[in-house]
Amino acid sequence: MNVLQKCFVGALAITLWLTLTMPASSAEIKGTIANVRAEKNEFVLADNFKNMTFRLAPDGMVLINGQRRTLRDLQPGDEASVLFERQDQQLIATVVQCTRHVPTTAHPMLAR
């Protein structure tokens, strides 16, 4: 093997090693909660084009209107932003931030 071939094989080995040892890159998507299956630790997020099923990471965090909550507290219709990673063919949510619009009701004395 000549020097050029050895350098190429070495560079290929380093690239492969870096690819396998680097953490998965995370991404963000926004949409609406379509379904929650808390017993499976999953939820479905609908965006403009498709529904995506996520599994909440063991150390994942759910925030609703800025307050820490659980997956069971998510409701269909909540607007959500999800930080996630791909692991094999699964989407693993690390942070779910929801905005729930609280209806404002007028005070009975002001409704007259």
Range of the domain at 35: 26-99
Residue 67 within any structural domain of the chain: yes
Q: What is the pLDDT of residues 12-42, one digit of tens each?
A: 444 444 344 445 578 999 999 999 999 999 9
The first and second tokens of residue 50, run together, are 């498709």
Q: Give a yes or no: residue 95 inside a domain.
A: yes
Number of structural domains (the chain) is 1
Q: Is residue 14 part of a domain?
A: no
| Digit-coded pLDDT (tens) for 60-98 | 999 999 999 999 999 999 999 999 999 999 999 999 999
- pLDDT for res 15: 44
Scanning the structure block, which residue is given the tokens 């269909």?
A: 76
What the block records as the tokens of 47 is 């965006």
Query: What is the predicted pLDDT for the residue at 83?
Result: 97
Residue 82 domain-assigned? yes
- The pLDDT mean for the chain works out to 81
CATH number at residue 66: 2.40.50.320
Looking at the domain assignment, is residue 38 inside a domain?
A: yes
Q: Which helix (H) or strand (E) holds 8?
A: helix 3-21
In a domain, 19, yes or no: no
pTM above 0.75, yes or no: no
